[in-house]
Amino acid sequence: MWGLFHSKPASPAARLSCTGAAVSVTVCVALWAQGGEPGPFQLGKGVPGPMARGWLPAGQVLAAEECSRCHVAEGKKWRGGFRPTAFSNAFVQAEYRLAWAKAKREGTDDGLPASCVACHSPLQYLQGKVPAPEEPLSADEGITCDFCHSTWGFSGEVPGQFNWIVRKGGNRFGPEIQSALGRPVRFTKSPELCGTCHNERGPGGQWVKSVYNEWKESPYSKTGEKGCLDCHKQFTREFVNGMIPRSVELRLEPPASPPRPGAELEVSVELANAAAGHRIPAGSSELRQLWLHVEAVDGAGRAYPLSVRPKGFEGEEHTIGSDARAYFDLQELAGGQAAGGLPRDGDGIAPGDRVFRLPMFDRQGRMTAFEWNAYALGTDYRLGPQETVTERYAFQVPSDLPPGPLAITATLRYRRAPPALWAFLRLPAGENPEITVGEARWQGHAGSTAHAPPSPAGARKKTLDMGARAGTWENKIP
């Protein structure tokens, strides 16, 4: 939600294209932003998003209900998804109020709130509407048919920072349009359209949201096997708060030796992102919580939580569950409230659990929950596309372990945001549930082990390379 449009000098070919009287100024803008001969998604009669605020007259906006009169099935899917409330939902509105507070506190204009509106309610932005937090919400439709089907391409070299190019009125674009270059393009179904808002730089210049970049670097992009809509076209039918249950496959390696009283027990858990074309968790990854909890239960029903063995990479303390406090920037953003911060992890994440996250930090180096207030990034410890990581957990077997069955369960859990932050923002508790993403279980007896199940199917084996560059991974295909 943060960003300004920066143009660069056009190439001679682009300057020549803008000299003809019949060529519209808006085409020149698109070419100037590109700085050279355009690609298949980078030429169109329209204006790039950062320059398009207030550019669209209200009379040229087409309501989604009008589209639905003929496109009945599509309208039903749209109404059943998240797009109609992409701006008006309680969580976005809570963040929007804090973004306004940051702008007022720093004495800046409304550029930050406007960038929120540009992606969460683009037709309002195009009509020049950037409502103040105290204003009642207008008849907002969030992300509409009219917006996506009026976009032609994007400006610049990489989609992001709402650099979509949109045109006024006229016929809307279907899945395939004929470009000015004389060849068909499919922009409305392309990952590039999604990337114009799902790629985002923070005020420090880093990519705080890089869903498109992650897909572009993934095997799915290189083979053409899978794009955004191949998974997300089902809208919320399979998704629960942004996550598909069972999207990560787990395999639990049982103890190498029989569990004996007083000895140390170690198990390994492999996690494979075999489904998503981007890292997990994605999107607002500074908020999302994805964690692996492992525990043993003996024959008497006593539970013993296991703790992850640290790997020793920089910033690992942010990826292991603890009672640490964070989000101290709320004191400035929320008018002096939460001076002591909030619990970083919260209920459900036990000390010693592995947490998969991308930590972000404010100007003072404090962990923040808001990408638009992030000036630095920590180690990106999330699950990449077709990546398998191994986590080792251990605990000291109690000396009074009773003979009989011993069960070890590894559970990968997810929720949208830390519960303490959710409560602080006064959001409905029922809208931040914990869901089980994956689970693996081993059942044995004290004094015996069982054969391990096969490795997660379909996942290419990878290991994180935390030495050279944080957040990169290296293929290790056996």
Same domain, 163 and 251: no
**286 in a domain, yes or no?**
yes
Tokens of 223: 């083979």
Same domain, 29 and 167: yes
Q: List Cα–Cα distances, 221 to 271, 276, 454, in angstroms.
A: 22, 12, 28
405 CB-side CA count, 13 A = 10
Task: Find residue 395's DSSP bridge partners.
Answer: 265
Whole-number pLDDT of residue 366 = 97
Instruction: Tell which of 168, 201, 234 closes a domain.
Output: 201
What integer is the mean pLDDT of 152-179? 80
pLDDT digits (tens, 9 = 90+) for 376-409: 999 999 999 999 999 999 988 888 888 888 899 9
Tokens of 411: 């559970």
Same domain, 359 and 465: yes
Tokens of 340: 């002591």
Same domain, 276 and 197: no
**20 in a domain, yes or no?**
yes
Q: What is the mean pLDDT of the chain?
A: 80
Same domain, 26 and 113: yes
Query: What backbone phi and psi angles, to 5 degrees, belong to 24?
Result: -70, 155
Whole-number pLDDT of residue 343 = 97
Same domain, 327 and 426: yes
Instruction: Tell which of 169, 201, 233 closes a domain.
Output: 201
Higher-pLDDT residue of 37 and 451 is 451
Q: Which of 114-123, 386-395, 425-434, 454-463 has the lowest mean pLDDT?
A: 454-463
What integer is the mean pLDDT of 421-439? 92
pLDDT band per the 50, 70, 90 thresholds, residue 447: low
pLDDT digits (tens, 9 = 90+) for 32-52: 233 333 343 433 456 778 888
Tokens of 200: 């985002």
Instruction: Tell which of 201, 226, 260 closes a domain.
Output: 201
Same domain, 282 and 196: no
Same domain, 351 and 448: yes
264: pLDDT strictly greater than 80: yes
Whole-number pLDDT of residue 241 = 58
**170 in a domain, yes or no?**
yes
Higher-pLDDT residue of 37 and 223 is 223
**235 in a domain, yes or no?**
no
Residue 263 is part of a domain; what is its CATH number?
2.60.40.3880
Higher-pLDDT residue of 140 and 451 is 140
426: pLDDT strictly greater than 80: yes
Q: How many domains does the chain have?
A: 2
Same domain, 272 and 173: no
What integer is the mean pLDDT of 287-295? 96
Give 101-104's long-range contacts (Cβ < 8 A, gap of 24+): 101/333, 101/334, 101/335, 102/332, 102/333, 102/372, 102/373
pLDDT digits (tens, 9 = 90+) for 273-286: 988 999 999 988 99
CA–CA dist 42, 132 (Å, integer): 33
**226 in a domain, yes or no?**
no
Same domain, 264 and 361: yes
477: pLDDT strictly greater than 60: no
Whole-number pLDDT of residue 61 = 81
Q: Which of 27-36, 121-130, 417-426 has the highest mean pLDDT?
A: 417-426
Question: Tell me, what amino acid is at 57?
Answer: P
Same domain, 21 and 160: yes
450: pLDDT strictly greater than 80: no
95: pLDDT strictly greater than 60: yes
What integer is the mean pLDDT of 153-178? 81
Same domain, 55 and 194: yes
Q: List Cα–Cα distances, 402 to 144, 217, 261, 303, 450, in angstroms.
A: 61, 51, 9, 12, 19
**218 in a domain, yes or no?**
no
Q: Which of 43-47, 84-88, 132-136 has the lowest mean pLDDT?
A: 43-47
192: pLDDT strictly greater than 60: yes
**219 in a domain, yes or no?**
no
Full domain range(s) for residue 32:
12-201
Whole-number pLDDT of residue 178 = 53
pLDDT band per the 50, 70, 90 thresholds, residue 169: low
**150 in a domain, yes or no?**
yes
